[in-house]
């Protein structure tokens, strides 16, 4: 009887220990090269309820994270962290009780987090949801070398606010190099082509292709304007000039452009930005492009062009000719325009899978394209 009670007590103790275990996942994410610098994000998520103590609920405490890296790529350049991302939040309030530092001890990079003071306000990593803790920015000495950024799990430690150890599961590692050597980028405007974004590469390494991003300010959010990847050459040691004509622009508006290079491993590198004053091109024919993607789920997009100012109606019909939704009904300027459909009705309800018709009409012309929705 006593033996059974002891065994039962031990089992309860083990179960309670497991229940009180404090664990989290951490990963290296969004490793990218912007011109001559490398950036990567440090993400975190709790995987259980952290202990309560000192009036704090599961707060992040003193922490050190170490990473091995390829010294040939970075040398002894002193990296730093992005303070905008490092100002972590709790309860929608800025948390000012933390100090971050980043330093190099070849061949390791150390990211240090110190909890200052004893205030109850602190950062509680979200449960089962990834959150960006900070972004490390690092100048590159040799863009031809791989970064070799990997977790050093032996020297990585984390504590909660009560100085209790947190068990970490590590995900993600980085091993990238600058995929293209960019020698010239520019943007010019003309009545024929709108804005022409040009870039010349000296060579390419595992280059899948390019996307173009645009903004109306160098400080506002850039949005991708290419729907399909502009193909790269994979591996090439010769130079090549690329050009993309952005015809969806207005007269006398300043546009900013970035070029995104995507490697065959899916790693992005951004070049730019550069600015130009837009010149709206005038097409010589009325046209509606095929939607992309097609089939789609749930969003698709398409372009249309007007050789003159006109009232434009764009509607979606089902295969029986019943109107599903009016996408546009207004006066439009001559030029190149962009439109999308989210697969919903006028009331915002999702439509069923099937074939639909997109019709564009002006006072003089109308065109129709079949589109396929697959849910």
Q: Looking at residues 103-108, what average pLDDT do you find?
A: 85
Angle at 39 between CA 37 and CA 43, to 5 degrees: 170
For residues 71 and 189, state if they share a domain: no
Query: Would 14 be classed as within a structural domain?
Result: no
Q: Which of 212, 246, 277 represents a domain boundary (last residue)?
A: 277
Encoded tokens for 21: 């275990």
Q: Identify the domain containing residue 238 by its residue range.
A: 180-277
Q: Which of 111, 146, 171 represents a domain boundary (last residue)?
A: 171
Q: Looking at residues 347-366, what average pLDDT do you find?
A: 95
What pTM was estimated for this model as a whole? 0.51
For residues 197 and 228, state if they share a domain: yes
Q: What's residue 354's pLDDT? A: 95
pLDDT tier, 1 (very low <50, low <70, confident <90, very high otherwise)? very low
For residues 336 and 240, state if they share a domain: no
Residues 134 and 175: their CA atoms lie apart, in Å, by 19
Query: Would 2 be classed as within a structural domain?
Result: no
Encoded tokens for 247: 């015809």
| Residue from 24, 106, 45 nearest 73 by CA | 106
Residues 184 and 187: their CA atoms lie apart, in Å, by 10
How many domains, in total, are found in the chain? 3
pLDDT tier, 309 (very low <50, low <70, confident <90, very high otherwise)? very high
Encoded tokens for 47: 């995987």
How does 55-67 read in b/e, with b if 16+ C-beta sit within 10 Å?
Answer: ebbbbbbebebbb
For residues 327 and 219, state if they share a domain: no
Do 258 and 251 touch, CB atoms closer than 8 A? no
For residues 110 and 130, state if they share a domain: yes
Residues 121 and 89: their CA atoms lie apart, in Å, by 10
List CB contacts of 287: < 8 A, sequence separation 6 or more.
Answer: 304, 305, 367
Q: What's residue 52's pLDDT? A: 61
Residue 262 φ/ψ region, left for φ over 0, alpha for ψ in the -120 to 50 degree band, beta for the rest: beta
pLDDT tier, 121 (very low <50, low <70, confident <90, very high otherwise)? low
Residues 99 and 97: their CA atoms lie apart, in Å, by 7
pLDDT tier, 53 (very low <50, low <70, confident <90, very high otherwise)? low
Strand 23-34 versus strand 167-171 pairing type: parallel
Residues 267 and 242: their CA atoms lie apart, in Å, by 20
Query: Would 369 be classed as within a structural domain?
Result: yes
Encoded tokens for 311: 């009232």
Query: Would 223 be classed as within a structural domain?
Result: yes
H helix or E strand, kind and range, residue 76: none
Q: Which of 277, 311, 337 represents a domain boundary (last residue)?
A: 277
Query: Would 1 be classed as within a structural domain?
Result: no
């Amino acid at each position: 009887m006593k033996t059974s009670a002891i065994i039962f007590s031990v089992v309860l103790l083990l179960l309670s220990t497991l229940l009180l275990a404090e664990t989290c996942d951490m990963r290296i994410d969004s490793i990218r090269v912007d011109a001559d610098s490398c950036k990567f994000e440090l993400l975190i998520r709790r995987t259980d309820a952290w202990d309560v103590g000192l009036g704090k609920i599961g707060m992040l405490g003193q922490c050190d994270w170490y990473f091995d890296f390829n010294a040939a790529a970075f040398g002894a350049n002193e990296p730093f962290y992005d303070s905008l991302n490092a100002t972590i939040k709790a309860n929608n309030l800025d948390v000012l009780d933390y100090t971050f530092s980043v330093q190099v001890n070849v061949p390791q990079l150390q990211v240090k987090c110190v909890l200052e003071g004893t205030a109850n306000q602190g950062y509680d990593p979200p449960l089962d949801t990834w959150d960006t803790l900070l972004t490390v920015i690092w100048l590159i000495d040799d863009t031809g070398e791989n970064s070799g950024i990997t977790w050093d799990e032996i020297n990585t430690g984390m504590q909660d606010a009560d100085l209790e150890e947190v068990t970490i599961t590590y995900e993600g590692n980085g091993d990238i190099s600058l995929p293209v050597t960019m020698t010239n980028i520019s943007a010019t405007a003309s009545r024929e082509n709108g804005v022409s974004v040009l870039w010349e590469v000296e060579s390419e390494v595992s280059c899948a292709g390019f996307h173009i991003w645009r903004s109306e300010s160098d400080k506002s959010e850039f949005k991708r304007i290419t729907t399909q990847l502009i193909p790269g050459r994979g591996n090439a040691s010769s130079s090549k000039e690329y050009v993309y004509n952005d015809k969806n622009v207005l007269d006398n508006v300043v546009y900013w452009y970035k070029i995104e290079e995507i490697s065959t491993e899916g790693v992005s590198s951004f070049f730019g930005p550069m600015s130009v004053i837009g010149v709206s091109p005038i097409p010589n024919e009325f046209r509606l492009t095929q939607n992309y993607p097609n089939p789609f789920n749930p969003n698709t997009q398409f372009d249309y062009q007007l050789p003159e100012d006109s009232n434009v109606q764009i509607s979606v019909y089902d295969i029986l000719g019943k109107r599903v939704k009016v996408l546009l009904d207004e006066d439009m300027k001559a030029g190149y325009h962009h439109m999308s459909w989210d697969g919903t009705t006028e009331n915002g309800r999702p439509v069923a899978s099937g074939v639909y018709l997109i019709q564009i009409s002006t006072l003089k012309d109308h065109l129709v394209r079949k589109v396929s929705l697959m849910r």
